[in-house]
């Protein structure tokens, strides 16, 4: 279990993904984008729209089971990306960097970007927007749903 939780709303995710696109817009010509599935799919779609990039590929990596981190396994390769030259690889978060390192083995010449970065993974990512502490679990909007919360006055001390 994580020590801290940070909930990201759809609006915040969209703003942060657009901020990521803003940082990436000055890169040399982008041939395409590789989304790290599943967390990178939505950020990659937003970045692709903002950069007017039509070629969006995916790489599927299984690393987590709920909050338990395992060894990253690539289960679908990004064949259109070749060695990654001219491609952006987008993910929602870099935690320890293990997933990015696994993908770098497949598309080593790509530029790697994510929205959120934890200290242990910062060194393997080229561009990110927001740093969060290593002991924080980010709750993305696709992992949560709004629900009723009783007023504080109704809660027992």
pLDDT band at 52 (very low <50, low <70, confident <90, very high): very high
In a domain, 45, yes or no: yes
Whether the pLDDT of residue 67 is over 80: the answer is no
Residue 146 has a pLDDT of: 83
Whether the pLDDT of residue 71 is over 90: the answer is no
Query: For the chain, how many structural domains are there in total?
Result: 1
In a domain, 150, yes or no: no
Listed as own residue / partner, the contacts of 99-106 with beta carbons closer than 8 Å and 24 or more positions apart are 99/36, 99/61, 99/63, 99/72, 100/36, 100/124, 100/125, 101/72, 102/61, 102/72, 102/73, 102/74, 103/34, 103/36, 103/59, 103/61, 103/74, 106/59, 106/74, 106/77, 106/78
In a domain, 59, yes or no: yes
pLDDT band at 150 (very low <50, low <70, confident <90, very high): confident
Mean pLDDT, residues 15-22 taken together: 98
Mean pLDDT, residues 128-155 taken together: 91
> Whole-prediction pTM value?
0.88
**Residues catalogued as catalytic:** 91-92, 95
In a domain, 55, yes or no: yes
In a domain, 40, yes or no: yes
Can you give the CATH number for the domain in which 125 is found? 3.40.50.2020
What is the per-residue pLDDT across 20-51, written as a single tens digit (0 to 9) for each?
999 999 999 999 999 999 999 999 999 999 99
Residue 96 has a pLDDT of: 94
In a domain, 156, yes or no: no
In a domain, 157, yes or no: no
Q: Residue 67 is part of which domain span?
A: 4-145
Residue 64 has a pLDDT of: 72
In a domain, 110, yes or no: yes
pLDDT band at 141 (very low <50, low <70, confident <90, very high): very high
pLDDT band at 106 (very low <50, low <70, confident <90, very high): very high
Whether the pLDDT of residue 65 is over 90: the answer is no
């Amino acid at each position: 279990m994580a020590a801290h939780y940070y909930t990201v709303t759809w609006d915040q995710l969209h703003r942060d993904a657009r901020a990521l696109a803003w940082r990436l817009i000055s890169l040399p010509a982008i041939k395409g984008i590789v989304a790290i599935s599943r967390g990178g799919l939505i950020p990659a779609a937003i970045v692709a729209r903002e950069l007017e990039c039509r070629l969006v590929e995916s790489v599927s990596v299984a690393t987590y089971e709920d909050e338990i981190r395992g060894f990253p396994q690539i289960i679908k390769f990004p064949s259109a990306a070749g060695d990654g030259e001219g491609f952006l690889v987008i993910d929602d978060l870099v935690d320890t960097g293990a997933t990015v390192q696994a993908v770098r083995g497949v598309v080593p010449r790509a530029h790697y970007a994510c929205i959120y970065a934890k200290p242990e993974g910062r060194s393997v990512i080229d561009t990110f927007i927001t740093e969060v502490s290593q002991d924080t679990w980010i709750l993305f909007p696709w992992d949560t749903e709004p629900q009723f919360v009783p007023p504080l006055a109704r809660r027992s001390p």
